[in-house]
Amino acid sequence: MSKSRRTYKYRLWPNRKQREVLFSKLEVCRQLYNDALEERREAWKLCRTWVSLTPCNRRSWPPAKQPTVQG
């Protein structure tokens, strides 16, 4: 059985306020990724152990707000 994959490309045209919101969300994602990466690097330096992404995902991050739907 073959699986087919579809991909979609979207172009966003956000207004100024939407750009600010998108930028702040991306900034949070970037910071979380960099923090997890730093944690993995430190574990390797100190203990020569590789921390998989699963323990990073299990960390107790603050709960995210539910997105508001406009439309």
Q: Which tens digit of pLDDT belongs to each residue from 28-49?
A: 999 999 998 898 899 889 888 8
Is 15 a residue whose pLDDT tops 60?
Answer: yes
Is 12 a residue whose pLDDT tops 60?
Answer: yes
How confident is the model at residue 52, as a pLDDT? 72
Report yes or no on 52 lying in a domain.
Answer: yes
**Which residues are within 8 A (CB) of 12 and not within 5 positions of it... i.e. 6 or more apart?**
22
Report yes or no on 32 lying in a domain.
Answer: yes
- Which of these ranges, 4-8, 21-25, 63-67, has the smallest mean pLDDT? 63-67
How many angstroms separate the Cα of 9 from the Cα of each of 6, 12, 16, 29? 10, 10, 22, 21
Instruction: Provide, rounded to the nearest whole percent, the portion of the chain with pLDDT above 90.
Output: 38
Report yes or no on 2 lying in a domain.
Answer: no
Number of domains in the chain: 1
The mean predicted confidence, pLDDT, of the chain is 82
Which residue segment(s) compose the domain that 29 sits in?
Answer: 16-57
Report yes or no on 4 lying in a domain.
Answer: no
Report yes or no on 68 lying in a domain.
Answer: no
